[in-house]
Amino acid sequence: MKPAVALIISTYDQPDYLRRVLRAVSGQVAPPAEVLVADDGSDERAAGVFQEWAGAQSCRSEHLWQAHEGFRKGRILNEAIARARAEYLVFLDGDTVPHPLFISDHQRLARPERFVQGHRALIGRRAARHFGEGPFRRDRWQALLGGDLSGWKNAFRWPAPLRRLRRDLRGVRGCNLAIWREHLAKVNGYNEEFTGWGR
């Protein structure tokens, strides 16, 4: 049975990207049960983008905000974890536009006693100006053909999600991560002493 998903999106002062990510969340084949935006101190524009989007959704949604006192992503993510109700948490960065099967693939990959660290492709500045505004397929191909896409193999979905069991990870990327809520609770969530960008 596929788990109920809480999608937690982290953001800071990128309301235009957040709008595009939320637009892509609305286009998910398997919508999340809830969406929580973990905001590390954006100005009021991010809250406006979220409120406009949330007003048209049927899923539970919440915007969690903290004052920006340096890069404290771990703290606001812990707030979102505490507020989430679903058993399976999927984390996504607020500038990462998800494929329409993003949530569905995470549900398919969910296994007991495991977490999933996904990948992402990086879009250059030219393509980033419009990526997420149009159909996902068109945006992706335009970025690739324009030479503005790195990690291109991660930008295309194979017929089924590819997976590989690893025991040698030295750090985890949170830009595309899925984990059982109970497992995060056992380790007391994210380490809030960790500040700044990185794994």
Q: What is the pLDDT of residue 135?
A: 59
Give residue limits of the domains in the chain.
5-186
Is CATH 1.10.3210.10 the classification given to domain 5-186? no
> pLDDT for 56-82, tens place per residue?
999 999 999 999 998 899 999 999 999
pLDDT digits (tens, 9 = 90+) for 124-136: 666 555 666 665 5
Average of per-residue pLDDT across 103-110: 94
Q: Write down the pTM of the prediction.
A: 0.86
Candidates 1, 91, 101; CA nearest to 37 is: 91
Query: pLDDT value at position 168?
Result: 77
Distance CA 72, CA 77 (A): 9
Q: How many helices (H) and strands (E) does the chain have?
A: 7, 8
C-beta separation of 137 from 102 below 8 A:
no
Mean pLDDT of 9-14: 96
Distance CA 10, CA 73 (A): 7
Strand-strand pairing, 88-93 and 176-180? antiparallel
pLDDT band with cut points at 50, 70 and 90 for residue 173: confident
* Angle between helix 15-26 and 44-54 (nearest 10): 10
State the pLDDT at residue 191. 87
